[in-house]
Structure 1
């Protein structure tokens, strides 16, 4: 049976297959007549592209959501974003555990790998907490956004916009339900900006970071003993501290660089007052790294600003969250490796802990594989789209692979072959290049670690 064969698959293959299944189901649902507006005329290929982008929480589209899909179709889009953000296996596992059924050990390992979690214990509580926290965060955002959108659009439309953006923001998908211009009409609105930034950060920081922080905060309030912020902070796990430190550093760096480069640009923030400039810079720094919403037309940014923001998008969010990219901790480990190599330090250390060599090697492989995918994708688009500007094609590939989903008005203009490349890269960017290659590997065979006589190779 199919079910028995699925259970025998490796964890990486299960993750890849689960995403492929929901993409296919989503494409069929979006192709139903009930999903379309009466005057829309889209092909199955376009619906498939939309489904891939939704499930991979990217944001690239070949056809606008608002003018293509009916209310039913838009609800399907919301479900696809939610499933894509949390992962189908996570949702199914939470349901199975919630109704009192037991999961097999192999399935538990697969879900843990999908969540970038290494602990096997407390699996039920962990899954329950993910669903609970997601509901609380998205529910709170829905209420806050409704306070702004209901007066602007009326009860029905306002509530729907609030729901759509709450799910899209937390999933780091970058989709909106407005008729173009993303969130540009709310560039000066602190409520909308604040809520969306909160959703993007909480979705991209990683589930394990949530729980570690909340557990320690709860412990501090329970004991009611103040030992100082730094001592409380050091009680967090090393992974949590590294993820928080890198995320905060990138957020501040992106904001400062954006302000410096765009301060006097009249096409972006040059005409804003100081407070609005800071708010806009903070939002761009947040969204360009993981999500893809815009409050300013990024086509008007200076080229250096756009180049810098593309670099930060490659880093992305943190492991175990809804964001794409290389991940903050992965990049941090590679940077630490480079630093220690220059210093002549044999081991990679952080916060008085030594990182296992296997973890550092895996991080390096992820970075190399990621950029190989980027170069291959760019090469293919340069071949298929010889009449387009190379920088625009590189931007499109980076947007797909990092799942930020921003485009220089190029996605609908691409050929079918190029759009297939974009779909493949969105898929790789969502579940990770290593997961893809492991799922295609010969994991059923016994691993053989060969070791031969040592030799030296000249490098550098």
Structure 2
């Protein structure tokens, strides 16, 4: 009876239930004695918060992983982050197809929604490619990180730390099993910084971008195309080009802004060499958009840097990946709409293409609903906590955008505030619109109504 009702649910509700189920099971597994160190001080609430943060690939925690969980518990953490990054429905769909069973059409739609994909064609190959690329990228990242951690921790422990960080970085989860201070000890280490940031970018750029770029490269090699990189770049889909342009633009601008603002700050990068300053600025910019790792103490950076990074966290990564935020392409479409209005243009255009009004409307709705949830969350935090507004806003955006960076505030918050952060993390990972659709009960009799036009003054 329950399974029949579950199958009848709309795709949005299935996505919500799948994530909620994994979170609940994960919290129970993390509460088992085999998962906890003898010195662990975790309660079920702490484990629930950790499970929510890991499945929602955020990175916020009430107690550090390294001082709380055994190897078994940390393996559970890896599984939760992997499920959160790729998505439970993606994994189940791939498994079902591997054993030769056909998915129901409604389930296929649910997976399509979870992946933020606009087409159903060649779905089996698409899902298999996601699993394959994930394994290759995380495996490569683990081996590169092992070059640093195996000599430091020994073969077995070094490999495990490398695996944990590779999965966490690629899934944009932001968790580590090194201690309570993330990667601050490695702020000047080029290998750790560059491998982690590469994994973060690849995990946050979106699956569709991977495949489009890969397909383009394969076509160039196969046809021995010698037309130059500019023409090859134009062969990419419009979405791919927009996602890449926005990602590169935000990284370059963010790195330069942080570099300039923090240049003489002795508490952050003021005492670093030029190369170390650039490396640290680059790392903070990448991780602040979606990942949650830190090589600096964010309590010690300047307020402007925190405020600027609130904006980049709000934007987040690209659709169809493990990143959070409103997404780069959503932000770009709203910006293009504003530009077209300023120019007095009727249509929104990009790269000699006109964007359908339905997509523009959806982008505006995403920004609006995201903002409303953020305002609601920050309002509750302000009522409950006696902390600086900037810190509360930073923590709330970090949760809703599933970034996971913190000004060391989350562990000090009350349970009410931590519940608010859990709700924000869940909404941010599933998506505000998906949450609203899962709660809606649209009647079959509901029809679009068209009445006489009227004028309302705005602005």
TM-score, normalization: structure 1? Answer: 0.98
Aligned position for 1:451: 450
Distance 1:159 1:166 in 2: 10
CA–CA distance in structure 2, aligned partners of residues 147 and 404 of structure 1? 27
**Which residue is equivalent to 2:430?**
431
Quote the offset at 1:388 in angstroms: 2.1
Distance 2:446 2:66 in 1: 51
User: What is the aligned partner in structure 1 of residue 266 from structure 2?
Assistant: 266
Equivalent residue of 1:42, what SS?
Answer: coil
The question of 1:190 aligning with 2:190 is answered yes
Range moving further from structure 2, 178-187 or 239-248? 178-187
Residues 11-45 of structure 1 show CA distances to partners (whole Å, capped at 9, x for unaligned) of: 11111111001001101111111111112232211
1:311 maps to which residue?
Answer: 311
User: Structure 2 CA distance, aligned partners of 1:231 and 1:19?
Assistant: 41
Instruction: Give 1:389 deviation, angstroms.
Output: 2.1
Counterpart in 2 of 1:59?
59
Alignment of 1:351 with 2:351, yes or no, is: yes
Q: Shift of the alpha carbon at 1:415? A: 1.5
Query: Hey, what's the Cα distance between the residues in 2 that align with 1:248 and 1:39?
Result: 44
- The alpha carbon displacement at 1:349 in A equals 0.9
Structure 1's 418 and 210: CA in aligned 2 closer, same or farther, altered over 3 A? same
Work out the CA distance in 2 between the residues paired with 1:412 and 1:305.
Answer: 22
Paired position in structure 2 for 1:178? 178
Q: How far apart are 1:446 and its partner, in Å?
A: 4.2
Contact 1:145 1:192 in 2 (8 A): yes
**Equivalent-residue separation in structure 2 for 1:261 and 1:139 (angstroms):** 36
The residue aligned with 1:163 is 163
Task: State the alpha-carbon separation in 1 of the partners of residues 99 and 165 from structure 2.
Answer: 30
Q: Is 2:339 aligned against 1:339?
A: yes
Match of 1:25 in 2: 25
Secondary structure of 1:298 counterpart: coil
- 1:323-334 equivalences in 2 (<5 Å): 323-334=323-334
Where 1:376 maps in the other structure, the secondary structure is helix
User: Considering only aligned residues, what root-mean-square deviation do their CA atoms show, in Å?
Assistant: 1.0
- The count of residues paired between Structure 1 and Structure 2 equals 459
The answer for the alignment partner of 1:362 in structure 2 is: 362
Equivalent residue, structure 1, for 2:395: 396
The SS at the match of 1:300 is coil
Return 410-419 or 345-354, whichever deviates more: 410-419
Q: 1:67 deviation in Å?
A: 1.2
Moved more, 387-396 or 165-174: 387-396
**Contact 1:10/1:443 (<8 A) preserved:** no
Say yes or no: does 1:81 pair with 2:88: no
Matched-pair contact (CA < 8 Å) for 2:61–2:411:
yes
223-232 or 247-256: bigger deviation? 223-232
Residue equivalent to 2:302? 302
Q: CA deviation at 1:340?
A: 0.5
CA distance in 1, matches of 2:407, 2:397: 12
Query: How do residues 149-160 of structure 1 correspond to structure 2 at under 5 angstroms?
Result: 149-160=149-160
After TM superposition, give the deviation of residue 200 of structure 1 in Å. Answer: 0.2
State the Cα distance separating 1:438 from its structure 2 match.
0.5
- Give me the whole-angstrom Cα distance separating, in 2, the residues matched to 1:447 and 1:183: 53
**How far has the Cα of 1:98 moved from its partner?**
1.3
The answer as to whether partners of 1:34 and 1:73 remain within 8 angstroms in 2 is yes
Shift of 1:322: 0.3
1:276 matched to 2:290: no
- Report the Cα distance in structure 2 between the residues aligned to 1:239 and 1:168, rounded to whole angstroms: 26
Query: C-alpha separation between the residues in 2 aligned to 1:224 and 1:444?
Result: 55
Deviation (angstroms), 1:444? 5.5
**C-alpha distance in 2 between matches for 1:36 and 1:93:** 32
Structure 2: give runs of 5+ residues left out of the alignment: none
